[in-house]
Amino acid sequence: MATSAKQLHIIAGLGNPGIKYQHTRHNAGFDVIDMLAEKYNIKIAEKKFQALCGSGMIQGQKVLLMKPMTFMNKSGESIAEAARFYKIDTETELVVIYDDISLAPGRIRVRKKGSAGGHNGIKDIIAHTGTQVFPRVKVGVGEKPQGWDLADHVLGRMSKEDRQQAEAAFEDAVSAVEMILLGQIDQSMNNYNSKK
């Protein structure tokens, strides 16, 4: 099939732009994108689709790494714009990486599809792409403490110990993305979704 050569995968990590939000729980998606970029020597410096982007190769696949600069709640605008431009099939050629408060730091979960589960970034992507069917890698950032405001929790930074566990999970997320690009999403779900 001749089309496979030009096939492109969009790997989008969710977060908020600006130094203020750097390395907060909500920016776990950005952190994983940065790790992928470093590992594969992809420069994320191009401004397009309301995002910071970088093109390169991962596991023999052409990829566009994306960090939407729209703020979390409007992530879908940026990602849908890129998906339309490249005419990708979101069910197989889009991977979204984001924080999940229902998973402990150090844990990740891979899914082929699903609802937003209260995550505003995912809610916006579903609204703009018109589908819930796209692979995603959720990165655990821990539940909010009782009585805390959710925004304060996700926009806060982790303790040193939690951050160390989270960084191990970012590495797992990188591996999960690699497996998804190799067409091994089921295997990555088996690897990472069972309790460690």
- Measured CA distances, 165 to 16, 24, 92, 156, 172 (Å): 21, 14, 29, 16, 11
Residue at 82: amino acid letter:
A
- Active-site annotation holds for 26: yes
Q: Strands, E, within the chain: which ranges?
A: 8-13, 46-48, 51-58, 61-68, 94-100, 108-111, 136-140
Burial of 138 (0-12, 13-18, 19+ CB in 10 A): buried
Which one, of 83, 105, 102, lies nearest residue 173 by Cα?
105
User: Where would I find the H helices in 40-74?
Assistant: none
Residue with the two structure tokens 């951050």: 163
- Measured CA distances, 168 to 6, 12, 80, 107 (Å): 33, 19, 30, 9
Cα gap 16→23, rounded to integer Å: 10
Q: Which of 26, 119, 128, 153 is catalytic?
A: 26
Residues with catalytic function = 26
